[in-house]
Amino acid sequence: MSVLLKVDDLAKAYAGVHAVDGVSFEVNDNEILGIIGPNGSGKSTTIDCLTGFQPADRGRVVLDGRQLDGLPSWRIARAGLTRTFQTVRVYEQMTLLDNLLTAMEPFDSANWIDAVLRTARLRREEAAARQRAVELIELVGLTRYTEVPVSILSYGQKKLVALICALMPKPRLVILDEPVAGVNPTRVREVEEAIRRLRDAGETFLVIEHNIEFIMNLCDRVIVFDQGRKLTEGSPSVVHADPRVLEAYLGVRA
C-alpha cells in the first residue's frame, strides 16, 4: 500500500499555546485512517491546517508527491484534498442532484464563453458531472431522493450529501470532520456502511470523530491525539487496548 498523504512536523500555536505541536503521520492510498482525541487535543486545528483554512506555523504536507503547505484552501482542493465540516453545509431547498452539480462547479474547466455558446466542451462536462453524481448517490443509498429537496432528508442523510459533494471532483483524499456528530444512533451504521462502500470503490478517507465505537468499527488504522501531539497509532484493537488512551480521555491511569 503506497503513501498518499505525508504530514511532517505540523505545528500551530495561538498566543503561545501549542494547539498542534510537531505532528507527523501518513495516510495510505485506499485507506480509512481515523483520528481521535479528547476535546482540545488538536484534531480540528490539524485538519484546518491541512486544508488551508488556517496557516500552519511550520510543517510539510505532501499529497501524492505534491507539496500543499502554504497554499490557499481552493488550490488545495483542486490538488485533490477536499473535506467536510462538523456543521452540515448543504443547499436545503435544492434537490440532492443539484447539490452535487453545484459542488462540482468550482472545478469545471469550462469558461463563460462555453456557457454562453453552450459549447461541446461544456455539454461533455455537464454530462460527466451528472453521471458522477448519480453514481455517488447510488453508492450511499440515496437514489430515491435524487430529485427531491435536501430539506426533507434526515440529519444523517444530509451528512452523506455533504460527503458525496466533497467527492464530486474525484479528489485523491477526503477529510471527514465528525461525520456522525449529532446523527441519530440508528443512522450511524448507515453512514459507516456508506463510507466503507465508497472506500471499496477506490476512495481514501481521513476521519476525525469523537464517536470511538464508530472509529474502531470503520477504520483500518487509528491515531490518537492528546495535548496537540500524536500519542499513539496502530490498528483499532491495539489502540483500544493502549492504557495511555484511557488516561488521555479519562485522566486516570489504567
* 128-152 pLDDT, tens digit each: 999 999 999 999 999 999 999 999 9
Q: Is 63 helix (H, G, I), strand (E, B) or coil?
A: strand
- pLDDT at residue number 250: 53
Q: Which residue has the cell 465540516?
A: 85
- pLDDT at residue number 254: 45
**What CA dihedral angle connects 114, 150, 52 and 64, to 10 degrees?**
-70
Distance linking the first and last C-alpha atoms of the chain: 34
Q: Which is it for strands 173-177 and 205-208: parallel, antiparallel or unpaired?
A: parallel
Question: Of 2, 35, 31, 51, nearest to 204 (Cα)?
Answer: 31
Q: Which residue has the cell 482525541?
A: 37
Q: Which residues contact 71 (CB under 8 A, 6 or more apart)?
A: 52, 79
Residue ranges of the chain whose pLDDT lies below 70: 109-117, 121-122, 250-254
Question: Of 15, 10, 12, nearest to 26 (Cα)?
Answer: 10
Class of domain 3-250: alpha beta
Residues in a beta bridge with 83: 175
- pLDDT at residue number 91: 96
CB neighbours of residue 13 within 10 Å = 15
- pLDDT at residue number 116: 58
Alpha-carbon distance 10 to 182, whole Å?
29
- pLDDT at residue number 161: 97
